[in-house]
């Protein structure tokens, strides 16, 4: 539609224009129409290209961009699986080597037992059953390692696998400033005091059982309690049935309300069962106690420099020597003032060999032990001890030891040349980051560490840092 001169929308000049019914703007000439035609041509061309692509994809859907993404995902997924498979093969091979080495050691022990029984020609059906059971056990472990399995986790579009190692090391750390959870009110015999605590046990409710050595009693401190309660002894120093004389260690069985106590200076192992007393083993310089999964009782004798084992309930004999027993000395078949002991799943006995400043491990049936911590002379270096005491070995074979005269607790991994300080090691003292002659040690279910701080007459709790 022709108009008088108006301002052209395109060239911004006053000319004879035509008004566009589509956009209601004024254009000066047909040149602008050409511009619009060009744009239409371009759109038409793009549409034709689109239609061609659509027809191609209709005929061959594999060329769609989504399919390309799927293909790319497939390639990357296969690469990831191959990479993971390579890593897992390496983990399995390394773990199998460790497992087979351990089984080989057990097989040598079994072979030695078979030879000894054959040479002595003194065996019965029970002995043969024991050998057969041990052979079946290590055979099963060879084919199906107990510390390793493969777990498959289903994920969308892909099944991923992961190697589950039940013995994956966990190197926990603990707050270096402890909390006093029992006593700490100087030396004394009141119920809020201790006098040179030695042994300790923490139950599932975090109640604390303590051999209060110089108060000649065993006390229990309920969780968050301000005072303890006497559960054994506490009737003066002596050898009467209701008395104790410097108890050092104990085994607590809460289900049967039983406590087996190493009454060190009383030279006896005594059981308090439902408040009634029974002497289990007499005339023994007992210091440390332990039990194994079969219910055998182990006792360290710091005078005879040996550890003996008794079958539970069969205390009318001399027991069996399972470590030491070859006189006082520092040879691998000897001990010197053994203190605390620990027995693992394989009935190997770990001993804090205090005067030899080492921890020594005796495999079941072995004629001599193997040094697994310390043994490098007395000192304060990381490869040394100064009269080790408390002893715990976890499922990973990590050895926790209270290094008494160095006022610290250490962790050693078997096979390593030195340990590491996990708490203490800041000189003897009574500050929250110090210990003074620590003796036993224990962990609660959360991994918090408890230490009887001997000369500070208190129990220190070091909270775990996960």
Distance of CA 32 to the CA centre of its chain: 82
Handedness of CA 92, 95, 100, 106 (dihedral sign): negative
Residues 158 and 182 placed together within one structural domain of the fold = no
Residues 299 and 238 placed together within one structural domain of the fold = yes
Q: Does residue 65 lie within any of the structural domains?
A: no
pTM beyond 0.95:
no
Residues 315 and 256 placed together within one structural domain of the fold = yes
Examine the fold and report which residue of 165, 199, 226 is the final residue of a domain before the chain moves on.
Answer: 165
- What domain range includes position 130? 79-165
In three-state form (DSSP H/G/I as H, E/B as E, the rest C), the secondary structure along 224-254 is: CCCCCEEEEECCCECCCCCCECCEEEEEEEC
Q: What is the pLDDT of residue 148?
A: 73
Q: Does residue 73 lie within any of the structural domains?
A: no
Q: Does residue 133 lie within any of the structural domains?
A: yes
Give the span between the Cα atoms of 254 and 236, in whole angstroms.
Answer: 25
Q: Does residue 69 lie within any of the structural domains?
A: no
Q: Does residue 71 lie within any of the structural domains?
A: no
Ordered per-residue pLDDT tens for the chain, 466 residues: 444 667 666 666 666 666 665 566 665 665 566 777 788 888 888 888 878 877 877 788 777 777 777 787 778 778 878 887 888 888 888 778 878 887 888 888 888 888 878 887 777 887 788 788 888 888 888 888 767 777 766 555 565 666 665 555 567 899 999 999 999 999 999 999 999 999 999 999 999 999 999 999 999 999 999 999 999 999 999 999 999 999 999 999 888 889 999 999 999 999 999 879 999 999 999 999 999 999 999 999 999 999 999 998 889 899 999 999 999 999 999 999 999 999 999 999 999 999 999 999 999 999 999 999 999 999 999 999 999 999 999 988 899 999 999 999 999 988 889 999 999 999 999 999 999 999 999 999 999 999 999 999 999 999 999 7
Q: Does residue 110 lie within any of the structural domains?
A: yes
DSSP 60-81: -GGGSHHHHHHHHHHHHHHHHH
Q: Does residue 147 lie within any of the structural domains?
A: yes
b/e sequence 16-39, b meaning 16+ C-beta within 10 Å: ebbeeeeeeebbbeeebeeeeeee
What is the torsion angle, in degrees rounded to the nearest 10, for the CA atoms of residue 18, residue 20, residue 25 and residue 29? Answer: -40
Examine the fold and report which residue of 133, 165, 197 is the final residue of a domain before the chain moves on.
Answer: 165
- Which DSSP state fits 177? S
Residues 276 and 150 placed together within one structural domain of the fold = no
Distance of CA 285 to the CA centre of its chain: 33
Q: Does residue 64 lie within any of the structural domains?
A: no
Residues 427 and 458 placed together within one structural domain of the fold = yes
Q: How many domains does the chain have?
A: 3
């Amino acid at each position: 539609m022709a108009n008088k001169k108006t301002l052209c929308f395109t060239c911004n000049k006053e000319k004879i224009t035509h008004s566009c019914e589509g956009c209601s703007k004024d254009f000066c000439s047909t040149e602008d129409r050409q511009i619009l035609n060009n744009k239409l041509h371009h759109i038409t061309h793009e549409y034709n290209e689109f239609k061609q692509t659509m027809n191609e994809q209709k005929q061959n859907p594999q060329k769609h961009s989504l399919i390309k993404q799927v293909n790319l995902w497939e390639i990357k997924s296969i690469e990831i699986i191959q990479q993971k498979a390579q890593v897992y093969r390496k983990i399995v091979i390394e773990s199998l080597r460790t497992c087979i080495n351990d089984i080989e050691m057990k097989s040598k022990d079994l072979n030695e037992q078979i030879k000894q029984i054959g040479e002595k020609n003194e065996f019965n059906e029970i002995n043969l059953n024991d050998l057969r059971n041990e052979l079946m056990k290590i055979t099963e472990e060879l084919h199906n390692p107990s510390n390793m399995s493969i777990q498959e986790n289903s994920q969308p579009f892909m099944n991923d696998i992961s190697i589950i190692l039940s013995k994956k090391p966990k190197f926990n750390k603990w707050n270096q400033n402890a909390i006093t959870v029992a006593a700490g009110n100087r030396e004394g015999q009141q119920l809020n005091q201790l006098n040179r605590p030695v042994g300790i046990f923490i139950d599932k409710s975090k109640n604390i059982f303590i051999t209060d050595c110089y108060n000649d009693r065993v006390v229990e401190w309920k969780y968050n309690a301000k005072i303890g309660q006497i559960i054994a002894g506490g009737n003066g120093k002596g050898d009467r049935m209701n008395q104790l004389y410097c108890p050092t260690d104990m085994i607590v069985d809460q289900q049967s309300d039983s406590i087996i106590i190493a009454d060190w200076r009383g030279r006896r192992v005594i059981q308090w069962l439902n408040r009634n007393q029974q002497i289990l083993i007499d005339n023994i310089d007992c210091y440390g106690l332990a039990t194994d999964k079969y219910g055998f009782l182990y006792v360290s004798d710091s005078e005879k420099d040996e550890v003996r084992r008794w079958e539970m309930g069969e205390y009318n004999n001399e027991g069996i020597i399972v470590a030491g027993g070859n006189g006082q000395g520092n040879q691998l078949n000897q001990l010197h003032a053994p203190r605390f002991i620990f027995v693992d799943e394989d009935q190997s006995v770990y001993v804090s060999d205090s005067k030899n400043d080492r921890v020594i491990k005796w495999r079941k049936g072995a004629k001599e032990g193997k040094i697994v911590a310390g043994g490098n002379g007395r000192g304060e270096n990381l490869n040394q001890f100064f009269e080790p005491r408390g002893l715990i070995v976890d499922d990973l074979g990590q050895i926790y030891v209270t290094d008494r005269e160095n006022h610290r607790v250490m962790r050693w991994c078997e096979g390593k040349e030195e340990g590491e300080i996990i708490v203490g090691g800041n000189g003897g003292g009574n500050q929250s980051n110090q210990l003074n002659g620590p003796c036993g040690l224990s962990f609660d279910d959360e991994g918090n560490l408890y230490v009887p701080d001997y000369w500070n007459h208190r129990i220190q709790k070091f909270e775990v840092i996960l």
